[in-house]
Amino acid sequence: MPGFATRAIKAASRVPAAPQAPVNVPIYQTSTFEVGSALELAELLEFARPGHSYSRYSNPTHAALEDALAELEGAEACHVAASGMAAIHGVVLSFLRTGDDLVVPRAVYGGVIGLARSVLARAGITATPVDTTDPEAVGAAIGERTRLVWLETISNPTTAMADIAAIAELAHERGVAVAVDNTFASPFLCNPLALGADAVVHSTTKYVGGHSDLTGGAILGSSEVVNGAREIVINAGGNAAPLEAFLALRGLKTLALRMVRHSSNALAVGQALETAPGVSAVLYPGLASHPQHALAVRTLRDGMAGGMLALEVSGGRAAGERFLDLLRVAVHATSLGSVETLCSHPASSSHRQMSDDDLASAGLSPGMIRISIGLEDPDDLVADLANAAAGAAT
CATH number belonging to the domain at 38-253, selected among 3.40.50.2300, 3.40.640.10, 3.50.50.60, 3.40.1000.10:
3.40.640.10
Strands of 126-130's sheet in order across: 77-81, 217-221, 199-203, 177-181, 146-152, 101-105, 126-130
Alpha carbon distance 341, 268 (integer Å): 14
pLDDT at 291: 97
pLDDT at 94: 98
pLDDT at 263: 98
What residues does 369 pair with on adjacent strands? Answer: 311
Alpha carbon distance 357, 202 (integer Å): 29
- Which of 238-248 are b and which e, b meaning 16 or more Cβ less than 10 Å from the residue's Cβ? bbbbbebbbbb
Superfamily of domain 255-393, CATH level 4: Aspartate Aminotransferase, domain 1 (3.90.1150.10)
How many helical (H) and strand (E) elements, i.e. helices and strands, does the chain have?
15, 12
Q: DSSP readout, 87-133?
A: HHHHHHHHH--TT-EEEEESS--HHHHHHIIIIIGGGT-EEEEE-TT
- Which of 325-341 are b and which e, b meaning 16 or more Cβ less than 10 Å from the residue's Cβ? ebbebbbbbebbbbeeb
Domain map (residue ranges) of the chain: 38-253, 255-393
**Active-site residue (options: 28, 101, 109, 147):** 109
What is the chain's pLDDT, residue by residue, as a tens digit (394 residues)? 899 888 988 988 888 887 788 899 999 999 999 999 999 999 999 999 999 999 999 999 999 999 999 999 999 999 999 999 999 999 999 999 999 999 999 989 989 999 999 999 999 999 999 999 999 999 999 999 999 999 999 999 999 999 999 999 999 999 999 999 999 999 999 999 999 999 999 999 999 999 999 999 999 999 999 999 999 999 999 999 999 999 999 999 999 999 999 999 999 999 999 999 999 999 999 999 999 999 999 999 999 999 999 999 999 889 999 999 999 999 999 999 999 999 999 876 666 666 676 666 667 778 899 999 999 999 999 999 999 999 998 7
**Active-site residue (options: 206, 258, 301, 322):** 206
181 catalytic per annotation: yes
Phi and psi at 126, nearest 5°, equal -100, 160
Say which amino acid occupies 2: P
pLDDT at 4: 85
206 catalytic per annotation: yes
pLDDT at 365: 77
> Contact at 8 Å (CB) between 116 and 93?
no
Question: Can you give the pTM of this predicted structure?
Answer: 0.95
**Active-site residue (options: 101, 131, 163, 181):** 181
56 catalytic per annotation: yes
